[in-house]
Structure 1
Amino acid sequence: MNLSFVSGPSEQHRLILVLFCSACLIFFDHKLNSFESVRGYLQSMVSPLQYLANTPNQLMTWASENITTREKLVEQNQNFKVEQLRLREQIMQLAMLKQENARLRQLLASPVRQEIKKMVAEILSVNSDPYSHQVLINRGANDGVYEGQPVLDANGVVGQILHVGATSSRVILITDVTHAVPVRVSRNGTRLVSSGTGRIDRLVQNHVPHSSDIQKGDLLVTSGLGGKYPEGYPVAEVTVVRQDESRPFAMVYSKPIAQIDRLRYLLLLWPEQQSPFAPAPKVESPVKEEQSNARS
């Protein structure tokens, strides 16, 4: 039997059937998510084909990145060396900034009382005269600095303000031969006076009786007498105690707690009554005072 001329569904009917089936599949997939698992299986089956189709592109990319000329390699090497030098220079700057930041943090974390204002200053220059221990700082009258103001570093007392300018001031160090600071022994409260000797590593305590209880290693702190330095700040550590009965007084030497030879940043202190931020007290004139007394 010859089936060459057997007639079947027309192309229009086939198209309509396919469109109807497609619409049904879309409806069920959208409303019921019936083909979610089937889609996952199909994606897994197609993935190897996708990787295979992308292989030529990956090979070309790998070749362009790894197959280079000698001149290009030399140029890249030079660029890397220049970049390395630049990064090393930045590392050195960061190390210096880190040290300065650590010093500033030590200054701000020093045992300063809450009622005392403080300000960080930087040393501009050091006096070249070996017999005069003075430094110049970048704070002046515009910042509220005043003569006789106490100056510290992160470890202890450094000195006091000697002269004040508009934007800078001169500090006399505790090691200067003309400087003296009242102190007391932290262990027992014995009062002394520490004077400079002209050496950055030595202070002398004059007129110390032989009966005074002073030992090597005692910590000397400010006594608060004289009104220059607040009480309780470290000044020096006793290094030598010689009691020679042939002399009227004992010989007592000490070493400053502050690192006099390594000063970079200093801390200025304002007592509450000397705070640059506090308003000046009102002073009534004598004429008004007499008038008020007469009225009363």
Structure 2
Amino acid sequence: MNPIFNQGTSPAQRLTLVLLCSAALIFFDHKMASFETARGYLQSLVSPLQYMANAPKQMMTWASENIVIRQQLMKENQHFRENELFFHEQAMQLDIVRQENERLRSLLSSPVRGEIKKMFAEILSVDSDPYSHQVVINRGTNDGVYEGQPVLDEKGIVGQILHVGASSSRVILISDISHAIPVRIQRNGLRLIASGSGQIDRLIHNFVAHSADVKEGDLLVTSGLGGKYPEGYPVSRVVLVRTDESREFATIYSQPVAQIDRLRYMLLLSKETTKEPSAEASKTNSGSLKNSSKAGKS
């Protein structure tokens, strides 16, 4: 059904009008920059839409980058932890080697007389009995060890050989309750007996008169009596002197100078003397014999 009256312009006219308007707007925008302000407002209005459109892509990029970086950081962190453990283990080994070197150096430079033969030994085991202070060392009859042989560390006297095997020996420590050693005070030469108390850090000195000149801090050294220990080696230091008139004797305790609870290496002293003096004596004797024979021939 056709309308009675035609309303509006035709499509061709509309297209022509739109083209003319577009050409005019292009001319004025290009030549006169008339729409810069309007374009700025329109750009501001469209920007949120552009951000919203780019948001999914940016989120995906951020997530992928962070996941990769996090995994890389975790791997690097794990690698650093492994290296840290490795370096700590190396540091502990170096510290152990350093401590052993210091112990060996101090042990070899301990004040042993030159004419006394000495032997190096290492502890193999410690007696588990709390009432028996004994250790086993890696020296025996094959090395020339004998019963009663004195043992010391870099600080002082440790004990003596109790039993000897072919390749190992048992050492009784001076803190053992069945051990006693004759000592003297280095300050005045007063002789005492140092007996083990069953405690690592205490020696007992019995039968000491109240009038005895003993003071806290006095250094006790071997007296040489009995023939077991050479004279002059440090044994202990007095830590308690108590005189109670109600008791017959004074109460005196001393602390061993040797680190009995930290023993690892020890020295064994022998009654045998070194062969260097005898060799020198033989040389001098042979020289004198030669000189006497030459004199006789002349």
Task: Normalising by structure 1, report the TM-score.
Answer: 0.65
Report deviation, 1:220.
0.3
The residue that corresponds to 1:196 in the other structure is 196
The residue that corresponds to 2:149 in the other structure is 149
Report deviation, 1:142.
1.1
Q: Which amino acid aligns with 2:100?
A: E
| 3-state DSSP of counterpart to 2:89 | helix
Measure, in 2, the Cα distance between the counterparts of 1:182 and 1:225: 6
Report deviation, 1:74.
8.8
Residue ranges of structure 1 left out of the alignment (5+ in a row): 1-68, 279-296
The residue that corresponds to 2:171 in the other structure is 171
Measure, in 2, the Cα distance between the counterparts of 1:73 and 1:200: 53
Is the CA contact 1:115–1:271 (under 8 Å) kept in the aligned structure 2? no
The residue that corresponds to 1:52 in the other structure is none
Is 1:100 matched up with 2:100?
A: yes
What are the residue-to-residue correspondences of 1:1-296 with 2, within 5 Å? 82-273=82-273
| 3-state DSSP of counterpart to 1:214 | coil
Measure, in 2, the Cα distance between the counterparts of 1:245 and 1:195: 23
Structure with bigger gyration radius: 2
Is the CA contact 2:237–2:257 (under 8 Å) kept in the aligned structure 1? yes
The 1:200–1:80 alpha-carbon spacing in structure 2 relative to 1, beyond 3 Å, is closer
The 1:95–1:226 alpha-carbon spacing in structure 2 relative to 1, beyond 3 Å, is same
Show CA shifts across 1:235-270 (max 9, x none). 011111112222221111111111111111111111
Measure, in 1, the Cα distance between the counterparts of 2:205 and 2:260: 18
| 3-state DSSP of counterpart to 1:178 | coil
| 3-state DSSP of counterpart to 1:272 | strand
Q: Which amino acid aligns with 2:258?
A: A
Aligned residues: 209
Measure, in 2, the Cα distance between the counterparts of 1:122 and 1:182: 26
The 1:206–1:274 alpha-carbon spacing in structure 2 relative to 1, beyond 3 Å, is farther
Report deviation, 1:72.
10
Measure, in 1, the Cα distance between the counterparts of 2:78 and 2:194: 61
Residue ranges of structure 2 left out of the alignment (5+ in a row): 1-67, 279-298
Report deviation, 1:116.
1.1
Measure, in 2, the Cα distance between the counterparts of 1:189 and 1:247: 25
| Identical-pair percentage | 67
Measure, in 1, the Cα distance between the counterparts of 2:209 and 2:77: 74
Show CA shifts across 1:24-61 (max 9, x none). xxxxxxxxxxxxxxxxxxxxxxxxxxxxxxxxxxxxxx
Show CA shifts across 1:158-180 (max 9, x none). 10000001111000000111100
The 1:253–1:100 alpha-carbon spacing in structure 2 relative to 1, beyond 3 Å, is same
Q: Which amino acid aligns with 1:243?
A: T
Show CA shifts across 1:93-146 (max 9, x none). 111011011011110011111111212211111111111110111111111111
Report deviation, 1:83.
4.8
Measure, in 1, the Cα distance between the counterparts of 2:175 and 2:117: 25
Measure, in 2, the Cα distance between the counterparts of 1:241 and 1:74: 64
Is the CA contact 2:115–2:273 (under 8 Å) kept in the aligned structure 1? no
